[in-house]
Amino acid sequence: NAGVTQTPKFQVLKTGQSMTLQCAQDMNHEYMSWYRQDPGMGLRLIHYSVGAGITDQGEVPNGYNVSRSTTEDFPLRLLSAAPSQTSVYFCASRFTGNTVNSPLHFGNGTRLTVT
Amino acid sequence: AQSVTQPDIHITVSEGASLELRCNYSYGATPYLFWYVQSPGQGLQLLLKYFSGDTLVQGIKGFEAEFKRSQSSFNLRKPSVHWSDAAEYFCAVAAFSGGYNKLIFGAGTRLAVHP
């Protein structure tokens, strides 16, 4: 049971480049989410999904797109990378979207640098 | 708006000493509160959670936390710290929006343990 798997672990982009951060979970979790972690700011929610075909914005969605075509996968797309998007990105999932009884399971993160 | 404040950015304790990490929250209703731990290069792991009932909750790795409504606090404690407890600790509150709940994290407290 792999849990939440994020790829790549590290990525360096130039300003204006695009890329997709991959997230996959094998726990049949309905709820999946993306956070970014910046020093002194904790984790901030970018986008989340409560099931296949359903996505919504979090606190800091600008510059990011998501889609959820399957239960297992929730990719995060950067359409035109900016230095302000340099951060560590975490994908997290749990069983259901509208209860707190199921804890979040986190991946190990993707460290992104935009130059 | 819901928010979480962790007043201490860095804390250093000696191995075997007691530990208390502070967390204050802002939330209009009864809060659902969490403590997560992040080891270097890893994702976040749930230590403990509070939903209702007994205000002193026990978690993994010998940690406990006490919910104090009058002080809007949910401080994390451990009687005797081990070197392996060196990590970053995040307090979080579940916020309900649009019928679904999302976690709002504090900025984190980085714990160093001296031998």
Residue A90: closest CA among A54, A51, A42, A57: A42
What is the tens place of the pLDDT at every residue in B32-59?
899 999 998 888 999 999 988 889 999 9
Do residues B24 and B8 lie in contact, with contact meaning Cβ atoms separated by under 8 Å?
no
> Are A74 and A90 within 8 A, CB to CB?
no
The residue ranges of every structural domain in chain B are 3-114
| Residue A62 in contact with partner chain B when CB distance is under 8 A | no
| Predicted confidence (pLDDT) at residue B30 exceeds the cutoff of 80 | no
Cross-chain residue pair B94–A92, CB shorter than 8 Å: no
Q: What tens digit of pLDDT does each residue of A55-70 get?
A: 999 989 999 999 999 9
Which residue in A42, A107, A109 is closest to B90 by CB distance? Answer: A42
Q: What is the CATH number of domain B3-114?
A: 2.60.40.10
Which residues in chain A land under pLDDT 50?
none
Q: How far apart are CA A47 and CA A64, in angstroms?
A: 8
pLDDT of residue A112: 97
First to last CA, chain A: 36
Q: What is the pLDDT of residue A100?
A: 64
Mean confidence (pLDDT) of chain B: 91
Give the pLDDT score at B98.
Answer: 61
Please give the Cα distance from A12 to B66 (Å, whole number).
42
Model confidence pLDDT, tens digit, residues B91-106 = 999 877 666 677 889 9
Strands (E), B69-108: 73-78, 87-97, 100-105
Q: Alpha-carbon distance B113 to B115, whole Å? A: 6
